[in-house]
Amino acid sequence: MTIFEISKEGRIGFQLPDNNIKDFEINLPEHLLRKSLPRLPQVSEVDVVRHYTNLSTKNYSVDVGFYPLGSCTMKYNPKVNEKVASFEEFSMIHPFQPHETVQGALKLMYDLKEMLCEITGMDDMTLIPSAGAHGELTGMLISRAYHLSRGDTKRTKVIVPDSAHGTNPASARMAGFDVIELKSGPDGRVDLNELEKVLDETVAVIMLTNPNTLGLFEKDILKIAQMAHEKGALLYYDGANLNAILGRTRPGDMGFDIVHLNLHKTFSTPHGMGGPGSGPVGVKKHLAKFLPIPEIVKTEDKYTLNYNKPESIGFIRSYFGNFSVMVRAYTYIKTMGKDGLKRVGEMAVLNANYLRVKVSKIMDIAYPGICMHEFVSTCEKLTKETGVKALDIAKRLLDYGIHAPTMYFPLIVHEDFMIEPTETESKDTLDKFAQILEKIFNEARENPELIKGAPYNTPVRRLDDVSASRKPVFKYNFEE
Amino acid sequence: MTIFEISKEGRIGFQLPDNNIKDFEINLPEHLLRKSLPRLPQVSEVDVVRHYTNLSTKNYSVDVGFYPLGSCTMKYNPKVNEKVASFEEFSMIHPFQPHETVQGALKLMYDLKEMLCEITGMDDMTLIPSAGAHGELTGMLISRAYHLSRGDTKRTKVIVPDSAHGTNPASARMAGFDVIELKSGPDGRVDLNELEKVLDETVAVIMLTNPNTLGLFEKDILKIAQMAHEKGALLYYDGANLNAILGRTRPGDMGFDIVHLNLHKTFSTPHGMGGPGSGPVGVKKHLAKFLPIPEIVKTEDKYTLNYNKPESIGFIRSYFGNFSVMVRAYTYIKTMGKDGLKRVGEMAVLNANYLRVKVSKIMDIAYPGICMHEFVSTCEKLTKETGVKALDIAKRLLDYGIHAPTMYFPLIVHEDFMIEPTETESKDTLDKFAQILEKIFNEARENPELIKGAPYNTPVRRLDDVSASRKPVFKYNFEE
Amino acid sequence: MHRYIPHTEEEIKEMLKEIGINSIEDLYMDVPKTIEEYNLENGKDEFSVLKEIKSLSKLNKVFEPEKVFAGAGIYFHYIPTVVETLSNNQNFVTAYTPYQAEVSQGTLQALFEYQTMMCELTGMDVANSSMYDGATALAEAMLMAVRINNKTKILAAGSINPEFLATSKTYCTPQNIEIETVKWTESGTIDLEDLKSKIDDNTSAVVVGYPNFFGIVEDLKQIKEILPDNVVYIVVSEPIALSILEAPGKFGADIVVGEGQSLGITPNYGGPGIGFFTTLAKHVRKMPGRIIGETKDVDGKKGYVMILQTREQHIRRAKATSNICSNHALMALKNAIYMSVIGPEGLRKVARMSYNATHYLAEKLVEKGYNLTFNGPFFNEFVFNAGENYYEKWKTMANEGILGPLPLEKAMPNFKNSALACCTEVNTKESIDELLKHF
Amino acid sequence: MHRYIPHTEEEIKEMLKEIGINSIEDLYMDVPKTIEEYNLENGKDEFSVLKEIKSLSKLNKVFEPEKVFAGAGIYFHYIPTVVETLSNNQNFVTAYTPYQAEVSQGTLQALFEYQTMMCELTGMDVANSSMYDGATALAEAMLMAVRINNKTKILAAGSINPEFLATSKTYCTPQNIEIETVKWTESGTIDLEDLKSKIDDNTSAVVVGYPNFFGIVEDLKQIKEILPDNVVYIVVSEPIALSILEAPGKFGADIVVGEGQSLGITPNYGGPGIGFFTTLAKHVRKMPGRIIGETKDVDGKKGYVMILQTREQHIRRAKATSNICSNHALMALKNAIYMSVIGPEGLRKVARMSYNATHYLAEKLVEKGYNLTFNGPFFNEFVFNAGENYYEKWKTMANEGILGPLPLEKAMPNFKNSALACCTEVNTKESIDELLKHF
């Protein structure tokens, strides 16, 4: 039932204190005065509590179980981070308070930036971008500003591997670039020959993630960096997969010029049903002047904000980014420290490889051999044999109380699962996942229709998203 | 799965800071040193989070739906009360701090006591008892002290109606009294003739609740009070049903000498799976000196605790009672005020009567006519007809996502439900309950086995509590 | 051993064996080891971390909400406790994008209801399930306008929030979209003559504030009347104001966007808030962001799914309407809970009280001889000349516990000694009178 | 209209009609109207209430936990954030007694696990699912002892927490059970000679602390050796201490009770904490309180239910083992979550750190010339002679942010100028050194 159906004319859920001020007449032209109130729900407090409590039970979350969504790094979100973010000294401050009254916030952001620079091997960083894709756009705009600042106006292209996240080409396009899709080599990595073919003086940036979306480390990364730089292009690092290399190597050390991070992946801020995230962008020294406005400046005795950056790409959103997400990431880094972060990387990679070996006994691994923090497997054979698709297996996993891996991505593998266990899962959980997967494969061979009809044990059964888009219903129909 | 089965030797969920103090050798005889550690779980933080989050989803609570458990007053528990109780100024204070440093806590308790005296019409009150039954015991001990103080040693009996809560006789017994069960009249109320028969100079107390457990108001209450007092007995009020008379009349006005309250019923503090509650006990002036230790005293410039009460019944527990429950009740009373509390009483009674009429079309009402905050219905006819018992119907209600009413109580009605909707439920909810009840009765007539097999849609199906008590398993078996 | 990482040494050994390698080191054969360790501290227990950050947090000053007279896009409002309690439910907080709809009905239904509420407020057909903030919502609205009519000039009222405008410029420039600002009149509303004169064949959209950055309510009807048919009409609005202002949809707006922080979200030092984005059904395929739609499951039971995903980056890649992927869903939930609790009458009362408080403050300032900069109708913010050295006075007030009207000079250099005052329902007569003592 | 009460005027009318009456007044025909209205304020919105109570709360002083050296039954310990987060889950908080087991498995399993953990700590067979506090748990233990052997004299060490003893007296007196106290020796342990001399044919039980109120660890073995077989051996213990002290069950205890606040519960000004209550299987039918047991459902699936309810008041009425109905289940949940997070090694570390801190403080006080009152082995509390006017010094320290060792005089008038010092793992060397400056 929707909250609108619970609503009852005249019921209230809220009471306001008196401010002891008389009613002023509203001096607006009649036609600007609202005639009928918006049809918001009219409910009591208990109605609201029950509605949202019951909705919450219809969600799968990291707090209820394994969530091996490849590329999304669904690790455990520590509760102490939530507590810190709720301090009123962080949540109840206005962005335009005098700097003297927000030294704690400014110092936190400054220190976080410094820590993230150390972790990425970059020289400077902005915390403003609100999400990974926002960071990518910021990075592309910085690249654009950089080339233009050198009078280099011919660089209109960005090279993106065909295995890249969809946000990469979209972000490049939003920054006004044309996108060249780079075909992956047979080993799932960048094909240097292919790269050489497309890499010329019109290329502004090469966007990579390393390890890539197949969970494979680009072994030739130093060579790629050299090639890019020789041609005058910048090398961009999509930080979605940073978890894998924590404590071992850094984008800056590999030759990347720009990097974005996803604080809601690597640094364990919760995903919030899709956001808010935070996508800081780090750069090498030569690009620092292009970072967006404002910048946090540390002077001898205090922290301030600098809005006067003539070569900056400018504002990319209001205020300073998603501050309370930063607070959580800061808490996480302080908690983990250099030793803990190293352990994160190691155990994330260990988990992925262990699960890869387990899964390889059930379905094919797209690119066998040691992987990093995730791997891609395919059920193409099963599909040919039984008609059961990756989608069906995904839905059947839901019946067993496990969230499905990322499906049908990257696009270069078919009927695939992209599986990222993260470091916070135990061996027991991975074993259980493999057991269930095997059970489902057996079910699929014995009774494919069973799997095609899944899920059965979920709050709703398989939903029709085709007609949902064909005849879209965007909002509740009050006339129902 | 139990938390013990998730446990893994060597796993940790917790880290402690260093206190910078060297290890002292433990100077205890060898035989007092623990040889093997208790087998507590060894789990990571995420294990703990998932375990308890998943357990929480196996509970029915007020926050998910209707909970018409008669006599328990399962009303909505406002969230702001929880927030207030979590203020560290309330949760992080030690009971033996200097009084100067806990003036807020003492004033809160003093004011709460005053407000509760006003609501009950009593002259003084203790907030110390931790639950209703604890309050009853306190009240019985006060009665005992009162009679003894007057040299009246022959009063060994307490009269309790046969419809009373089981705690009443048990509490009287714990205070050393013998219990006389008073048979209810045909109208479900105290039978004055019966009362007269047993009321003599050996009776120390008459314990009543008004409205009584059948939801009926004892119309003859003033007469009963007169009879009690004439014989030198005290009249005790079980506050479980106070919700019904809020804003209308007061136990003190009806002639009661002692009253206990259930802050977790009338005053909306949450029930916490069974507690902690709080059971303040109010008395008329002549009994004040017997109240337990300590008492909160207001002097001109501050609040203090007085432990020097020579005629007091003494300590009934440690410290001052369940302070954080009191904080919630205080917040509730401040929120509701005199107008809100009156509305609570009225709507609680309105809801009960509306539902009574609705239910009367489906099953018999034990004592027809206007009821107060709750009523008792019986399915005896259906049981005779189909073999389906009240228990079966209760279990079937669970399948429809509703908590069952109190069953098989009071003992003087058979195959009964005691239904208390409370004021926080809407007409829609009551209508829905009646609809479902009707549906179940229809199901029972058409297919009694279906109902006898219920529930089907719950985390577990009907549990065997007979053999659970016959061959009890008190704890997890580590050798399993 | 770490409390967030469950592996025991024993398990690590078993896992390495299963993988067929000897050590963790072997997992990294492809990866150059470029660092021994980060130049960071070692990890800490939670109590040490809490203590350290608590002490850091104390370097921030929290003003009593009733003594805050600063707005400019981020507002202090009463937030019922249940908003916090319910939106902190970890089944919402630790879920991700509802890729598996069957186990995400909580998320999906909540967002569908949020969309409905935003449509109600704005009078539009469709809302997406959120953008990052008001600034990026406006920037994306401009890009969308260009997708609708393939023209490349945007005329934006100069009275739009300066950070919104600056962000839009950052987004538009690389795509060769030009933003030209339109003057304002003495009343603080858009200069219709200037607007008329700037509209040409290449004009893709016109953007106005409702209310605008100065708190002034634009006359959406008058503006619409001078717009050519194919110009996209973009309104930047404030959701609380929309409970007393007629819905922009009634005046022919094509896109209504804005910052939704005022609907139950704490100020958070400016983020996260939420960008809301609504439009007409006919434009929906040009719209950025995630949209939730209603559908049915195989048993005919009602359910919700993400719809029209072919607009989005993960399918459409370089041809997507936007690159947005993560959005601000959790904030949309807070908005929805807030609107559920407060209801239509409550929202109007919030607006009415804000209006009254703001006009009381303005009236008193005028009585004291201060001049309001504009004479147009305003909602809960207004600009006035605060006198010489206002910036110093403002800092003095801050020391005394008042966050006074914001000095405008930094954001808008032409407004020397001007201040942008804001009141909401949290400001009382008493707190306003206390503020007035400083004037 | 009230936000907690959903009825609209329209609905009230419909409901009255269905009932067949004309007004609310008609519902009360049986009820005398004795008041027009309470002499209380009218109700308020939540923000006014929050403001008022927040300001009231500020009259309480919160000491930094590391500067608290007061124990006496309520202790400051580190509590992991997850304890709070998980136990605040409203599906636990707003549920009641698991009368309908099939929809209460969360409650039941959590309590079953709690019982298991308490059995592990104490070395006993069975735990109930909670009592109100340590004092009432002890009082009920005495009543239980009398039920076991029908004798009526209890011998209790005089070193038991005075409030526990006083409460027990209140409970026992009406049932004509006599409590006689046993002296302590110079070492602070029970005087075995005195005990021996007081044991007679009517002795139902012997009660000792482990550690006792002075922090001194009794030798449970020695005591057991002098007890006649049919005397019930009751041990009052402290759960944190039990991670380094051998379990009382190993020494033949019949009942082990105590206060469980130290296991993850905030001090709460003394309540709610929780009373734990454990015993041997052979005594279980004499035990008070609710017990959860394991069973199976009709499909053979494991589940949990309340068991042995025939002992309880709602069935047994006047013949019940106790009148207890509401207990402290939510606190048992906090205990269980705490013990789950901290684990066996963590609990021992807490105990060890507490031990070290306490002994460091004692060592330094002795170095400064202060005398410890007892020379027996102590855990995390000890008594010392704090010198003249200690009560004033204690208040001075409080003004300086230290909650010093508790003056014992009030609770135990014989202990003039004595103080009961306590350290736990939250007290650091630095904070102890700061305390020592006052001595």
CB contact under 8 A, C325 and A132: yes
Q: Which long-range contacts (CB under 8 A, 24 or more apart) does B111-115 make?
A: B111/B330, B112/B326, B112/B329, B112/B330, B112/B333, B113/B280, B113/B296, B115/B330, B115/B333, B115/D40
Measured between its terminal Cα atoms, the distance across chain D in Å is 61
Residue D235 is inside which H or E element, if any? Answer: strand D232-237
Give B-chain residues touching C82 at CB under 8 angstroms.
Answer: 79
| Distance linking the first and last C-alpha atoms of chain A | 12
Residues of B in contact with C6 (CB under 8 A): 8, 11, 43-44, 46-47
Angstroms from D421 CA to nearest CA on chain C: 23
Whether C46 and D85 lie within 8 Å, measured CB to CB: no
Domain boundaries, chain B: 1-13+35-50, 80-336, 339-466
Residues of A in contact with D340 (CB under 8 A): none
Contacts of A54 in chain B (CB under 8 A): 64-65
pLDDT for C372-404, tens place per residue?
999 999 999 999 999 999 999 999 999 999 999
Q: Is A49 within 8 Å of C82 when comparing Cβ atoms?
A: yes
In this predicted structure, what is the pLDDT of residue C1? 81
Which residue in chain B has the smallest CA separation from C83?
Answer: B79
* Best of B6, B11, B20 to mutate (most C CBs within 10 Å, chain C): B11
Min distance C64 CA to chain D CA atoms (Å): 10
Extents of the domains making up chain C: 65-78+343-438, 81-338
Neighbour subunits, C (≥3 Cβ pairs < 8 A):
A, B, D
Class of the CATH-defined domain B80-336:
alpha beta
Contacting residues of A for B62, CB less than 8 Å apart: 46
Measured CA to CA, the distance from residue B417 to residue D220 in angstroms comes to 51
Strand partners, D292: D306
Spell out the CATH class of B339-466.
alpha beta
**What is the nearest CA distance from D186 to chain C, expressed in angstroms?**
39
Distance from CA of A46 to the nearest CA of B (A): 6
Three-state secondary structure call for residue D308: coil
Could C90 and B49 be called an inter-chain contact, meaning their C-beta atoms sit closer than 8 Å? yes
Which member of C126, C175, C243 has the closest CB to residue A37? C243
Chains that touch D (3 or more CB pairs under 8 A): A, B, C
Burial class (CB within 10 angstroms; exposed 0-12, middle 13-18, buried 19+) of A384: exposed
Test C47 with B82 for CB contact under 8 angstroms: no
Rounded distance between C-alpha atoms, residue B189 and residue B183, angstroms: 9
Q: Which of these, A184, A244, A208, lies nearest to A371 by C-alpha position?
A: A244
C50 CB neighbours in chain A (<8 A) are 80, 83-84
* Angle B180-B264-D269 from CA coordinates, rounded to 5°: 110
B51, closest residue in chain A (CA to CA): A64
pTM, two decimals, is 0.97
CB atoms within 10 A of CB B79: 23
Nearest residue in chain A measured CA to CA from C116? A475
Task: Please name the residue of chain B whose CA is at the shortest distance from the CA of residue A77.
Answer: B46
- Token pair 């509703």: residue: B402
What is the spatial distance between Cα C336 and Cα C83, in angstroms, rounded to a whole number?
Answer: 9
Identify from C41, C81, C83, C91 which residue to disrupt to test chain B contact, counting B C-beta atoms within 10 A and taking the largest count. C81
Instruction: Tell me how far CA of residue A186 lies from CA of A189, A211, C29, in angstroms.
Output: 7, 16, 19
Q: Which of B14, B17, B44 shows the shortest C-beta gap to C5?
A: B44
- Inform me whether the C-beta atom of residue A213 falls under 8 Å from chain C C-beta atoms: no
pLDDT at A109: 98
Residue C316: pLDDT band by 50, 70, 90 thresholds? confident
| Per-residue pLDDT at C125 exceeds 90 | yes
Q: Architecture of domain C81-338 in CATH?
A: 3-Layer(aba) Sandwich (3.40)
Question: What confidence tens digit (pLDDT) does each residue in A108-158 have?
Answer: 999 999 999 999 999 999 999 999 999 999 999 999 999 999 999 999 999
Intrachain domains A80-336 and A339-466 with the same fold: no
Closest-CA residue of D relative to C45 is D80
* B287 min Cα distance to partner chain C (Å): 41
Chains B & C: contacts with CB separation below 8 Å: 52
C103 at B interface, C-beta within 8 A: no
CB proximity A60 to B under 8 Å: no
Q: State the nearest Cα–Cα gap between C202 and chain D, in angstroms.
A: 52
Judge whether D31 is closer than 8 Å to chain A, CB to CB. no
CB pairs under 8 A between C and D: 11
Complex ipTM value = 0.97
Give me the average pLDDT of each 10-residue run along chain D (439 residues).
95 98 96 96 97 98 98 97 97 97 98 98 98 98 97 97 98 97 97 98 98 98 97 98 98 98 98 98 96 97 95 84 94 98 97 98 98 96 96 96 95 90 98 97
C-alpha pair distances (Å), B212 with each of B188, B264, B372: 9, 18, 9
Instruction: For tokens 């002639």, name the residue.
Output: B255
CA distance B419 to chain C (A): 28
The identity of residue C283, as a single letter, is H
- End-to-end CA gap in chain B: 12
Q: Which of C235, C183, C232, C231 is nearest to C208 (CA)?
A: C235
pLDDT in tens, chain A (480 residues): 999 999 999 999 999 999 999 999 999 999 999 999 999 999 999 999 999 999 999 999 999 999 999 999 999 999 999 999 999 999 999 999 999 999 999 999 999 999 999 999 999 999 999 999 999 999 999 999 999 999 999 999 999 999 999 899 999 999 999 999 999 999 999 999 999 999 999 999 999 999 999 999 999 999 999 999 999 999 999 999 999 999 999 999 999 999 999 999 999 999 999 999 999 999 999 999 999 999 999 998 899 999 999 999 999 999 999 999 999 999 999 999 999 999 999 999 999 999 999 999 999 999 999 999 999 999 999 999 999 999 999 999 999 999 999 999 998 899 999 999 999 999 999 999 999 999 999 999 999 999 999 999 999 999 999 999 999 999 999 986
Q: Which CATH number fits domain D65-78+343-438: 3.90.1150.10, 3.30.460.10, 3.50.50.60, 3.20.20.30?
A: 3.90.1150.10
Q: Which residue is listed with tokens 């609790």?
A: C341
Q: C81, B80: Cβ pair inside 8 Å?
A: yes
pLDDT of residue D310: 86
Percent of chain B with pLDDT over 90: 97
E strand or H helix at A451: helix A448-452
